[in-house]
């Protein structure tokens, strides 16, 4: 049956709406084996001609075997394996192409989305979310876009988690091209999905459409950073229409990249002030177990990280103060390097932050054995 869905989905001029009209009257196999008389009132003259021409040139079995050789799965709405989360939305894609692990389409998941041009703070929060979601086995869903999306997905894979990349192209096309490593990693440790035929090139009109799939496949949506008018908020609107819970990370009112999040919070979105608190809140809903992470051993830190910890105690210090103290120990270090190290140590729970000031947690201070 799937191979006939594959054929019909590749007939020129048959879009999603027409496709759904056809399959409510007859199966794609019946259409391929029979004629268009039964549904001629649903189609234009051009569409009927395209179907007839496709039947003459499309070798159903050969094309299906080529699809399977590329390790691409095809699920059709109403068929076995099609995600239930996706089937219940009003405009579910009639066909879904998938590469990678199929089982994760049905597992507890959180969509992490946000700005392409994100701040260091946004990048840190995306990494922390990716790391903690991976640790408790929650699948990260996102669009593999530059910025927040790819940062969170990449971090999830790095920490042994699983992630679903929802594409605005076909599953054989890597976009953006610089995310090739993530694209390949998702095929091995997660999966790629698209409602478009495998070799469909990215087009601007396809990205807003794919956002409904991101929100549908996720149980909860988190917005890390977003402009007041952005594609991220399109996903949020679709998520709300689907009845999903939406959380947003607040930012400074003067930061343009946080205005979308702050507006969502004003409108009633959940406030994510702490990744730990967020996961404690949603874990019963997703039916997963969550225990707060244990601070990593000081002895396992890199020499650069140890220099950061050496200059910190439980006294609050801002980033510039940390930089000046570390610089005294290493004249070659730069402020951006210090910022990245501090953020990494935050993810490892060695350093904590309070209103822009940083300090070592009490466990780290009590166990300092720096060499």
Per-10-residue mean pLDDT for the chain, 371 residues long? 94 92 91 84 91 93 96 95 94 96 95 93 92 91 95 94 96 96 96 97 93 96 92 91 94 90 94 92 87 58 82 83 85 86 83 82 49 36
**Architecture of domain 298-366 in CATH?**
Orthogonal Bundle (1.10)
Q: Can you give the pLDDT at residue 370? A: 38
Q: Can you give the pLDDT at residue 301? A: 76
Q: Cα–Cα distance between 35 and 15 in angstroms, integer? A: 19
3-state DSSP assignment of residue 112 = strand
Q: Where in the chain is the domain with CATH 1.10.10.10?
A: 298-366
* Cα dihedral 115/121/125/131 (nearest 10): 110
Q: Where in the chain is the domain with CATH 3.40.50.450?
A: 103-286
Q: Can you give the pLDDT at residue 368? A: 47
Q: Can you give the pLDDT at residue 180? A: 96
For domain 103-286, say whether CATH 3.30.390.50 is its number.
Answer: no
Q: Can you give the pLDDT at residue 297? A: 55
The per-residue b/e assignment along 95-129, b for 16 or more CB within 10 angstroms, e otherwise, is bbbbbbbeebbeebbbbbbbbbebbebbbbbbbbb
| Phi, psi for residue 246 in degrees, rounded to 5 | -120, 130
Q: Can you give the pLDDT at residue 298? A: 59
């Amino acid at each position: 049956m799937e191979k006939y869905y594959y054929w019909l989905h590749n007939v020129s001029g048959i879009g999603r709406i027409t496709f759904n009209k056809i399959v409510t009257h007859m199966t794609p196999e019946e259409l391929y084996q029979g004629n268009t008389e039964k549904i001629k009132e649903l189609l234009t003259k051009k569409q009927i001609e395209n179907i007839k021409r496709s039947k003459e040139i499309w070798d159903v079995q050969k094309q299906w075997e080529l699809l399977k050789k590329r390790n691409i799965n095809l699920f059709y709405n109403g068929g076995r394996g099609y995600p239930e989360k996706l089937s219940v939305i009003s405009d579910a894609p009639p066909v879904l192409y998938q590469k990678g692990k199929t089982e994760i389409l049905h597992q507890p998941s959180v969509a992490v989305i946000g700005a392409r041009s994100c701040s260091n703070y946004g990048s840190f929060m995306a990494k922390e979310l990716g790391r903690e979601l991976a640790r408790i086995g929650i699948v990260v869903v996102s669009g593999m876009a530059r910025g927040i999306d790819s940062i969170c997905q990449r971090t999830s894979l790095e920490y042994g988690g699983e992630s679903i990349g929802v594409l605005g192209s076909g599953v054989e096309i890597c976009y953006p091209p610089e995310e090739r490593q993530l694209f390949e990693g998702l095929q091995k440790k997660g999966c790629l999905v698209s409602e478009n035929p495998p070799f469909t090139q990215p087009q601007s009109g396809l990205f807003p459409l794919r956002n409904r799939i991101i929100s549908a496949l996720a149980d909860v949506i988190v917005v890390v950073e977003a402009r007041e008018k952005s594609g991220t908020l399109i996903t949020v609107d679709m998520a709300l229409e689907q009845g999903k819970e939406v959380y947003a990370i607040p930012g400074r009112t003067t930061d343009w990249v946080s205005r979308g999040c702050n507006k969502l919070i004003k409108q009633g979105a959940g406030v994510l002030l702490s990744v730990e608190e967020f996961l404690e809140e949603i874990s019963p809903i997703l039916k997963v177990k969550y225990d707060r992470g244990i601070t990593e051993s000081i002895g396992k830190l890199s020499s650069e990280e140890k220099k950061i910890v050496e200059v910190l105690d439980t006294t609050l210090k801002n980033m510039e103060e940390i930089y000046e103290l570390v610089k005294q120990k290493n004249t070659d270090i730069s402020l951006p390097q210090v910022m990245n190290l501090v953020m990494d140590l935050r993810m490892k729970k060695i350093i904590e932050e309070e209103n822009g000031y940083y300090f070592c947690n009490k466990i780290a201070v009590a166990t300092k054995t720096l060499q």
